[in-house]
A and B are shown apart, each in its own frame.
Chain A
Amino acid sequence: MSKAAELAKIGEVATNGQIGGRRNMVINGAMQVDQRGATVTASGYSVDQFKITKTAMDNLVIAVTQDTDTPSEFTTALKLAVTTEESAKAVDELLDIRHIIEAQNLQHLEFGTSTAKKLTLSFWVRSSTTGKYSLLFLLDDDTRSNLQSYTISTADTWEYKTITIDGDTTGVIDNDNGIGMSIIWTLSAGTNFTGTPHAGWGAYAVTEDHAHADMVDFAAVDDGTFHITGVQLEVGSVATPFEHRSFGEELVLCHRYLNALLAYGTGNDNNNKIYNADYVNTHSFVRMGYPRMRDTPTINYTISAGASDTDYSSNGLIQLFNDTVTNWYIYDVLLEKEL
């Protein structure tokens, strides 16, 4: 880059406000937080905020984990490993990784107006399968999409990718706590998901706009591995260095969507229990407060005896009652309200 071009870029970054305040709209982009701490083999979450979608893949066996094979400035990555390949991909089969951003956190993009802002996505990626991969930006409220691609040049080597897109002057992102934008890294797609996609932003049709017909089929290769980390989405047309946030900051941001209470995952240990307190008329209850989440969460728990017969919980407070058992507790408590 020439000196003049470099100065122009610096000016653009300053104009966009990219050197002040928080830049990265992605939560847990460095894959540090893994509250469930479990290996994922089906659709679901491994590290916080990055969801695996495995649809109709009847042969494919995968293991998705937090991994320590990373570029030098990171310590954790999301790893998707193929244990058994999809040997006969059908039209309805799909494998991807998604990051979903809450709608009210994207209002400053001014989508749906003439001043909609450009966006730049950057990330580090490593794959055993070289070639073209699809990357989809999907707006939930007005069902709009923008399909892009990136290329893995060298197998099993970390590569840094940046993609800049225009703001969508048509699609509005509602100012609420629902889905705003999904960023979807597609790894394998049957023909129900590929067609002739429109360029730039446009109305989304799953059969045309989800993935490119000429993308690689990562799931078809046995023992394949795909790593990703350092995911950053920012305003403007310049990819700035990754905004490293502390583990504590990322954990607090993740708690709005998932809360693994106490020492979740350690089972029936004393430091992982919410004990009952006696109540009148043989009633007993467990009660514990927690920071409010995106909405009232689904509560997962294991119980020591019987089952709770009354649930009086609200957003921010667990209250489970039992009117017959007076000596009980719950453990491995997980609160879910992901997008």
Chain B
Amino acid sequence: MEFNSAKYLYDMEGVNKTHIQLNLGNSKFKHIVIDPANTDYQAILEWAKIDGNTIEDAD
């Protein structure tokens, strides 16, 4: 999976993280639901373990 950056998204109340937003470039995005059983989510967590990779907090 190739992407430029990763960022957490929250619910409307701004309390709970709901998704990780991947910026794929050219205005393309992928939203991965935060769920330990989700294989895409697991892959992002593995990516984040690599030095220099960070899932940014919401703006």
CA–CA, A313 to B30, complex, Å?
Answer: 13
Which A292-315 residues have C-beta < 8 A from chain B? 295-304, 307-313
- With most chain B CB atoms within 10 A of its CB, the pick from A296, A299, A304, A310 is A310
**B29 close to A309 (CB less than 8 A):** no
Question: Chain A at the B interface: mostly helix, strand, loop or mixed?
Answer: strand
| Interface size of B as a range | 20 to 34
CA–CA, A321 to B19, complex, Å?
Answer: 13
Count of inter-chain pairs, beta carbons less than 8 A: 60
Number of interface residues of A (CB under 8 A): 20
**A301 close to B33 (CB less than 8 A):** no
- With most chain A CB atoms within 10 A of its CB, the pick from B10, B12, B28, B32 is B12
CA–CA, A236 to B47, complex, Å?
Answer: 44
Specify which chain A residues have a CB less than 8 angstroms from the CB of B10 in the assembled complex.
Answer: 310
**B33 close to A296 (CB less than 8 A):** yes
Given A295-B38, A296-B33, A298-B33: A308 and B9 interface contact (C-beta under 8 Å): yes
**A302 close to B11 (CB less than 8 A):** no
Which A17-66 residues have C-beta < 8 A from chain B? none
**A308 close to B12 (CB less than 8 A):** no
Among A303, A307, A310, which residue has its beta carbon within 8 angstroms of that of B12?
Answer: A310
B56 on the interface (CB 8 Å rule)?
no
- Apart from A309-B9, A309-B59, list 4 A-B contacts with CB within 8 A: A299-B30, A301-B31, A310-B12, A310-B14
* A residues adjacent to B (C-beta < 8 A): 295-304, 307-313, 320-321, 332
* B residues adjacent to A (C-beta < 8 A): 9-12, 14, 18-19, 21, 23, 26-33, 35, 37-38, 40, 58-59
